[in-house]
Structure 1
Amino acid sequence: MSVTPKELEIPFSPAGVDKPCVTYCKVFGDLSNHTKRPLVVVHGGPGMCHDYLLPIADLAAGGTPVVFYDQLGGGRSTHLPERNGDTAFWTETLFMDEFDNLVRHLEIEKDFDVLGQSWGGMLMSRYAATRQPAGLHRLVIANSPISMELWIEAANELRGQLPQDVQDTLTKHEEAGTTESPEYQTAMLAFYAQFVCRVTPMPADFMTCFKFIEEDPTVYFTMNGPSEFHITGSLKTWSMLDDAAKIAVPTLLINGFYDEARDSTVAPWFERIPHVRWVTLPQSSHMPQFEEREKYMQIVSTFLHSH
């Protein structure tokens, strides 16, 4: 049984922007039906779009309303390319404010769950720890590192497993500052195929997100940098090591055995969050929602509806 989604554009007014902005949103299921709490799904990147997380809409068939959205600057939401490189603008606070605006607009702020994937999990961990919203019941942190320092360390170890010529190509372009060259992009795909998404060919919804980033890399370049392991953006020093213990809601950690979010980046969450479970999917990398879809839905659903 598939559920037909409803598409919305939610007005959002970020500080210092003098043009009208919208957050694009897609809702599967009925938010006015209060028998099951809605799940808000927060995408990664930063600067990606929601499309690669659409398998999670499977949960709507079981009655859980599922909300996807594209963060400002990404996908079908308002783009602000004139803010490229503006690290004072593209901040966690901006995206937490956007999230608050979204749940208020949808009138679910008193009762909701969250699943954040990769950067989305990083963002929502900070949100849960610092804003501690009364309406948040359960949090899923999927494929997210607790700090960028640990992420970079893990990525470099994984990079060392790539064929030597691929490693050399990556290094050559990073040192020359030519990471936009097709040769670098092709070499990066070798990394993605092992540690980001092991499904062949790459799912179309995943490729859609790449297309959006290619067309407007503003957010990704400003906050992250040119690639998953060459982090030059404002998130370079990002860490939740000191704040993770403040996450008060029951939390589920998910990663894959081949994930670029390696166990070394996830274990510190498990040690610090008070009410926490951790599941590693054995056949998955960074995209278990594609790689072990059925098992993933079962794990998430069981966690959201357990007492």
Structure 2
Amino acid sequence: MSMVREDRAPFGVWHTWYRVTGDLGNGRPPLVVLHGGPGCTHDYVDSLKDIAATGRAVVHYDQLGNGRSTHLPEKGADFWTVELFLDELDNLLRHLGIADSYHVFGQSWGGMLGSEHAIRQPKGLRSLVIANSPPSMRLWVEEANRLRAELPADVQATLLRHEAAGTTTTAEYQQAMLAFYERHVCRVVPMPDEVARTFKAIEDDPTVYFTMNGPSEFHVIGTLKDWSVIGRLDRIQVPVLLISGRHDEATPKVVQPFADEIPDVRWTIFEQSSHMPHVEEREACMELVAGFLDEQDRPGRA
């Protein structure tokens, strides 16, 4: 069984909670896992700890404002920026002493953050896995609304009514939203505990999710609504693995610009999955990711 260590990294006057599974000092570049949201927690990507069985340490953390890290419900839209979370990641890498050699796995918003990180060409980044992510929020919303239009008519009507009235926190809206989630977010029903824990955490403190995203996956009215990395992706100089699900809200049309613009890229679509192949097809997903990381660590790779 891998060793597990939890602690907090000081980040300005706040702190970032993290957990390391495995031995950071064994000479193999660790995998740093960036969770989604923005506003989720590490819980729903907990399965990535499986990679530690291959002898590679895995670092999970809760981004600022979420989970076991410092919560700041009083902070407004000017505070919660992409730059903030990039700075937090850099701070954590330095704190753990791994900034000179590491891999990144970013899921959904985590992949957006990971791509922004890689565009900066940090010297220690060995490779990047972008899982179930959009390179553009406009593209994401366009496709999410196409998928939403395939929901039962009564569900669509409920969603529209509450969005127009600004009553998206009601139980009825949440229930209608679940119909979309069960098709395009996580097709394992009932929802696995680790996924449910993350959704409960957003419910308990929706500050980051509501500010940056909005009330749901397809009603994006937050500060990220115009975000895009299209046109900048050619600056990514490390090998990239793209992962998505056949039923994913990150549809092939959404993911395509990553495949078109990143110089060294490969893409796997999991046929039985939606937005969480790491949960829905766990074993196959871990095998793919572990193999990709091992390939990058072979002698001769820069």
TM-score, with structure 1 as normaliser: 0.95
Match of 1:122 in 2: 112
1:81 corresponds to 2:70: no
Match of 1:247 in 2: 236
In the aligned structure 2, how far is the partner of 1:244 from the partner of 1:302?
24
Which residue, out of 203, 220, 224, partners 1:214? 203
Contact 2:19 2:61 in 1 (8 A): yes
In the aligned structure 1, how far is the partner of 2:53 from the partner of 2:166?
47
Match of 1:8 in 2: 7
1:98 corresponds to 2:88: yes
In the aligned structure 2, how far is the partner of 1:245 from the partner of 1:223?
26
Deviations 1:130-166 (A, max 9, x none): x211000000000001100110011001101111100
Contact 2:3 2:23 in 1 (8 A): no
Deviations 1:162-207 (A, max 9, x none): 1110011000000111000100000001111010000111011111
Match of 1:55 in 2: 47
Gaps of 5+ in 2: none
Match of 2:19 in 1: 26
CA RMSD of aligned residues (A): 0.8
In the aligned structure 1, how far is the partner of 2:56 from the partner of 2:191?
28
Match of 1:69 in 2: 61
Contact 2:245 2:273 in 1 (8 A): yes
* Letter matched to residue 46 of structure 2: L
Which residue, out of 251, 273, 296, partners 1:262? 251
In the aligned structure 1, how far is the partner of 2:105 from the partner of 2:213?
21
In the aligned structure 1, how far is the partner of 2:4 from the partner of 2:71?
23
Contact 2:244 2:274 in 1 (8 A): yes
Gaps of 5+ in 1: 14-19
Which residue, out of 37, 40, 48, partners 2:32? 40
* Letter matched to residue 5 of structure 1: V
Match of 2:164 in 1: 175
CA-CA distance at 1:234 after TM superposition: 0.4
Match of 1:108 in 2: 98
Displacement over 6 Å in runs of 4+: none
In the aligned structure 2, how far is the partner of 1:25 from the partner of 1:235?
25
Q: Percent identity?
A: 57
Give the secondary structure class of the aligned counterpart of 1:234. coil
Which residue, out of 185, 201, 205, partners 2:174? 185
Match of 1:17 in 2: none
CA-CA distance at 1:245 after TM superposition: 1.0
- 1:230-245 equivalences under 5 Å are 230-245=219-234
Deviations 1:258-307 (A, max 9, x none): 00000001011100000000000000000101111111011101111114
In the aligned structure 2, how far is the partner of 1:289 from the partner of 1:253?
13
* Letter matched to residue 274 of structure 1: P
Aligned residues: 296
In the aligned structure 2, how far is the partner of 1:121 from the partner of 1:289?
14
1:275 corresponds to 2:264: yes
In the aligned structure 2, how far is the partner of 1:3 from the partner of 1:210?
27
Deviations 1:10-61 (A, max 9, x none): 1101xxxxxx311000110010111x21000000000110010011111101
In the aligned structure 1, how far is the partner of 2:3 from the partner of 2:225?
39
CA-CA distance at 1:4 after TM superposition: 4.1
CA-CA distance at 1:3 after TM superposition: 2.4
1:144 corresponds to 2:143: no
TM-score, with structure 2 as normaliser: 0.97
